[in-house]
């Protein structure tokens, strides 16, 4: 099929056939479509949209552009979770071993940081020796033996998506709901999942800054995921403040380890973690009700079973064998630690969460360019939640930096991102909606 005719069809608002979409994805994979043609179709879809059948066809074609994992004879359901990203979002680190301890199997293909949002793979690389790109045999064996393994995307999983996304990123067509949907789900379907719990975040620290945008994306992902044969449910969750007590890489892994050990459990983060894990157990048939799922998950935490799974996973993928017993020995933090003073007494009423994510990048904990190396040691810890009464000069958080100058810049940025009022603002719901 001629590329220009496929582009013309979508440019004119027409519906692409499955054959046309498969021809496009083949062109992505074998590079018979030029960058200009890929960009043109991306812009046409951005402007004219896609219906559900088109989005399903694009998702399946990109899934089939590379290796598709299969999990025959697995004694439990193969399920996963995906988040649209936020600041301080370390839930995957706790969620995978919790679900594994309840009988699920979680082959999690995670991503790196994107823009101001942190990435699970970057966090895991703060653990000395951890292999985020093991060979297929080790990944398969770890999932089967322990019930979970978290790794980065490999080159042979949905390679068409990788090329299409790179073009979209430089042609201002990233913010297209059907293309975001296909990008996320093609990789999840390539992982051989039976069920997916989607965490679509909205607010000042999220990709979706409004509830309406988050709802549109969640509904699209649920419809296309189910249309492609994978049980899919989405939670729309709040990202108007840092999630949990930390933002960075090593600091977030340390918080996740402590959470699994029952130490410093932050209530908001705990609630969202339980909610997403519960959906995974329900999708996999491991619980009949949400109450039953939560009981099982809490038991996995209280018994130490979830913590044990995480420690075993880290060791199996090349990390230290005693991370759970001695996390501070392995998760090195930056040498300069300074408090972020509250400028005046009052209530922490609001937060520009995106600005805090940018402050982590400025410290060196994220990338300005794709080729940048990350400093895993920097970030913020002991983050104060919203609606908390704070005395003057009481810390809003602590910064971990490589030198005094960068620490002072981060302190100023964090203070500027916080709004102190006489009384709290009306709270946004932690879980706004459940879709599907």
For residue 413, the domain's CATH number is: 3.90.1170.30
In terms of Cα–Cα distance, which of 36, 356, 274 is closest to 167? 36
Domain enclosing residue 139, as ranges: 79-316
- Whether residue 426 is contained in a domain is answered as no
Looking at the structure, do residues 93 and 17 belong to the same domain, yes or no? Answer: no
Q: What is the pLDDT of residues 134-163, one digit of tens each?
A: 999 999 999 999 999 999 988 888 999 989
Here the CATH number for the domain that contains residue 8 is 1.20.970.10
- Whether residue 292 is contained in a domain is answered as yes
H or E element at residue 110: strand 106-110
In terms of Cα–Cα distance, which of 294, 292, 325 is closest to 308? 325
**How far apart, in whole angstroms, are the C-alpha atoms of residue 66 and residue 80?**
20
Looking at the structure, do residues 312 and 364 belong to the same domain, yes or no? Answer: no
**Cβ atoms within 10 A of the Cβ of 259, count?**
26
User: What pLDDT band is residue 369 in, cutting at 50, 70 and 90?
Assistant: low
Looking at the structure, do residues 397 and 293 belong to the same domain, yes or no? Answer: no
Here the CATH number for the domain that contains residue 189 is 3.40.1030.10
- Picking from 316, 347, 376, the residue at the C-terminal end of a domain is 316
Report CA-CA distances (Å) from 266 to 83, 84, 302, 358, 383.
Answer: 19, 21, 15, 23, 10
Q: Phi/psi class of residue 10: alpha, beta or left (left: φ > 0; alpha: ψ in -120 to 50)?
A: alpha
Query: Would you say residue 282 has pLDDT above 70?
Result: yes
Looking at the structure, do residues 199 and 299 belong to the same domain, yes or no? Answer: yes
Looking at the structure, do residues 37 and 91 belong to the same domain, yes or no? Answer: no
Q: Phi/psi class of residue 375: alpha, beta or left (left: φ > 0; alpha: ψ in -120 to 50)?
A: beta
Looking at the structure, do residues 145 and 36 belong to the same domain, yes or no? Answer: no
SS3 69: coil
Looking at the structure, do residues 119 and 245 belong to the same domain, yes or no? Answer: yes
Q: What's the confidence (pLDDT) of residue 392?
A: 78
- Whether residue 168 is contained in a domain is answered as yes
Tokens of 288: 């009949």
pTM value is 0.92
**How far apart, in whole angstroms, are the C-alpha atoms of residue 375 and residue 361?**
9
User: What pLDDT band is residue 113 in, cutting at 50, 70 and 90?
Assistant: low
**Residues with a known catalytic role:** 80-83, 120, 168, 183, 187-188
In terms of Cα–Cα distance, which of 63, 89, 48, 53 is closest to 162? 63
- Whether residue 73 is contained in a domain is answered as no
Tokens of 53: 């059948």
Looking at the structure, do residues 95 and 9 belong to the same domain, yes or no? Answer: no
SS3 292: helix
Looking at the structure, do residues 227 and 193 belong to the same domain, yes or no? Answer: yes
- Picking from 291, 316, 341, the residue at the C-terminal end of a domain is 316
Q: Give the total number of structural domains in the chain.
A: 3
**Rg of the chain over all Cα atoms, to the nearest angstrom:** 22
DSSP-derived secondary structure letter, 334: P
Looking at the structure, do residues 221 and 340 belong to the same domain, yes or no? Answer: no
- The DSSP secondary structure of 243-268, one letter per residue, reads STT-EESHHHHHHHHHHHTTSS--HH
Q: What is the mean pLDDT of residues 70-98?
A: 95
């Amino acid at each position: 099929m001629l590329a220009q005719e496929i582009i013309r069809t979508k440019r004119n608002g027409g519906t692409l056939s499955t054959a046309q979409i498969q021809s496009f994805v083949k062109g992505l994979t074998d590079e018979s479509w030029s960058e200009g043609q890929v960009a043109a179709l991306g812009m046409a879809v951005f402007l004219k949209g896609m219906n559900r059948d088109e989005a399903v066809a694009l998702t399946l074609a990109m899934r089939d552009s590379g290796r598709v994992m299969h999990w025959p004879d697995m004694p439990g359901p193969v399920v996963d979770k995906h988040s649209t990203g936020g600041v301080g979002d370390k839930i995957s680190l706790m969620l995978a071993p919790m679900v594994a301890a309840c009988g699920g199997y979680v082959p999690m293909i995670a991503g790196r940081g994107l823009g101001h949002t942190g990435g699970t793979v970057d966090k895991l690389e703060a653990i000395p020796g951890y292999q985020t790109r093991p060979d297929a045999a080790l990944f398969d064996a770890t999932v089967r033996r322990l019930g979970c393994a978290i790794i980065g995307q490999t080159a042979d999983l949905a390679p068409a998506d990788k090329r299409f996304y790179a073009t979209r990123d430089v042609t201002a067509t990233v913010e297209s709901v059907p293309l975001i949907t296909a990008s996320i789900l093609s990789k999840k379907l390539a992982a051989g999942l039976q069920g997916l719990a989607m965490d679509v975040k909205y607010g000042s620290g999220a990709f979706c800054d409004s509830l309406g945008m988050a709802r549109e994306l969640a509904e699209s992902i649920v419809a296309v995921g189910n249309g492609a044969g994978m049980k899919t449910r989405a939670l729309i969750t709040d990202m108007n403040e840092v999630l949990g007590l930390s933002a960075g890489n090593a600091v977030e892994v340390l918080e996740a380890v402590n959470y699994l050990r029952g130490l410093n459990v932050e209530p908001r983060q705990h609630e969202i973690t339980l909610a997403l894990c519960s959906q995974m157990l329900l999708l996999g048939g491991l619980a009949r009700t949400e109450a039953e799922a939560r009981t099982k998950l809490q038991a996995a935490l209280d018994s130490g079973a979830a913590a044990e799974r995480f420690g075993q996973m880290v060791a199996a993928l090349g990390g230290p064998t005693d991370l759970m017993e001695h996390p501070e020995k392995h998760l090195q933090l930056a040498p300069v630690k300074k408090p972020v003073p509250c400028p005046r007494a009052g209530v922490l009423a609001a937060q520009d969460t995106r600005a805090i994510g940018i402050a982590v990048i400025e410290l060196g904990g994220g990338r300005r360019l794709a080729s940048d190396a990350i400093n895993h040691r920097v970030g913020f810890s002991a983050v104060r939640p919203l609606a908390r009464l704070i005395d003057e000069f009481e810390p809003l958080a602590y910064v971990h930096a490589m030198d005094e100058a960068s620490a002072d810049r981060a302190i100023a940025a964090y203070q500027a991102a916080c709004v102190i009022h006489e009384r709290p603002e009306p709270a946004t719901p932690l879980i706004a909606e459940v879709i599907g």
